[in-house]
């Protein structure tokens, strides 16, 4: 099945690599970035390789921007098959929760929790029109209650919260046969993960591609790493 796949934060890193791999596999990808010019290098690569893709400006922290993208996309596409909520930030690598800056926490929750929830709320009707809808929320084992500890408090809280969104939305959309899952991509060598991370980008991509292209009888309401279910 050829899928139409919308990816937030897909101008670089894991979002870009996953999008290009999905294009290579024959899917049509909607790449987005806060600044449209940031997508120009990907656009050139897509045109050179004759992939199917489109490119739009999207600030995930601006509900107006999300609504505008919805209007523009609806003019071109009558449905979306997969939404990958990839955009995210990590701003408190060395902080303690006991003196956590309130604005930093709000900013992290805005990007890592409210933004993907807003995307789901705005685009679920287009996903319902798919014959095999999928939503993928990029999460992290740092948000696992099963192994919660100190360090990176706002990031941990935001990822724990997006896992809760995954569970609730998966139940609400079961009757529409839309699969909704959280995926831990691993510690990846991106701008966020840093050069010392244990995984190269290309090693993480297959797990995201798998989650984004689940069969109709695929799992929902689960947490995965490298195609394998992990504890919440």
Residue 32 structure tokens: 């987005």
- Domains of the chain, first to last: 4-229 (3.40.50.720)
Per-residue pLDDT of the chain (232 residues; tens, 9 = 90+): 999 999 999 999 999 999 999 999 999 999 999 999 999 999 999 999 999 999 999 999 999 999 999 999 999 999 999 999 999 999 998 899 999 999 999 999 999 999 999 999 999 999 999 999 999 999 999 999 999 999 999 999 999 999 999 999 999 999 999 999 999 998 777 766 677 766 788 999 999 999 999 999 999 999 999 999 999 9
How far is the C-alpha of 203 from the C-alpha of 153, rounded, in Å? Answer: 27
Contacts of 202 (CB under 8 A, 6+ apart): 17
pLDDT computed for residue 208 by the predictor: 98
| Global pTM value | 0.96
Terminal CA-CA length for the chain? 30
pLDDT computed for residue 197 by the predictor: 62
pLDDT computed for residue 200 by the predictor: 83
What does DSSP say about strands 82-85 and 223-225: parallel, antiparallel, or unpaired?
unpaired
Q: Is 12 helix (H, G, I), strand (E, B) or coil?
A: coil
What are the E-state strand segments in the chain? 4-7, 28-33, 53-57, 82-85, 134-138, 179-183, 223-225, 228-229
How far is the C-alpha of 180 from the C-alpha of 173, rounded, in Å? Answer: 8
Assess contact for 230 and 184: CB atoms under 8 A. yes
pLDDT computed for residue 190 by the predictor: 75
């Amino acid at each position: 099945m050829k899928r139409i796949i919308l990816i937030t934060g897909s101008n670089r890193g894991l979002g870009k690599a996953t999008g290009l791999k999905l294009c290579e596999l024959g899917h049509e990808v909607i790449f987005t970035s806060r600044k449209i010019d940031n997508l120009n290098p990907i656009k050139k690569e897509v045109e050179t390789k004759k992939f199917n893709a489109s490119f739009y400006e999207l600030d995930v922290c601006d509900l107006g921007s999300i609504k505008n993208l919805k209007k523009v996309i609806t003019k071109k596409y009558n449905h979306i098959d997969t939404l990958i909520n990839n955009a995210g930030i990590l701003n408190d690598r060395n902080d303690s929760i006991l003196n956590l800056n309130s604005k930093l926490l709000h900013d992290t929750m805005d990007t890592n929790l409210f933004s993907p929830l807003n995307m789901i709320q705005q685009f679920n009707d287009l996903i319902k029109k798919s014959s095999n809808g999928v939503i993928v929320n990029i999460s992290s084992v740092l948000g696992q209650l099963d192994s919660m500890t100190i360090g990176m408090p706002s990031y941990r809280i935001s990822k724990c919260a997006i896992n809760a969104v995954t569970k609730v939305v998966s139940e609400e959309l079961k009757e529409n046969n839309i699969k909704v899952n959280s995926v831990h991509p691993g510690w990846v060598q991106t701008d966020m993960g840093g050069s010392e991370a244990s995984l190269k980008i290309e090693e993480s991509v297959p797990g995201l591609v798998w989650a984004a292209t689940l069969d109709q009888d695929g799992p929902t309401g689960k947490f995965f790493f490298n195609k394998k279910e992990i504890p919440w």
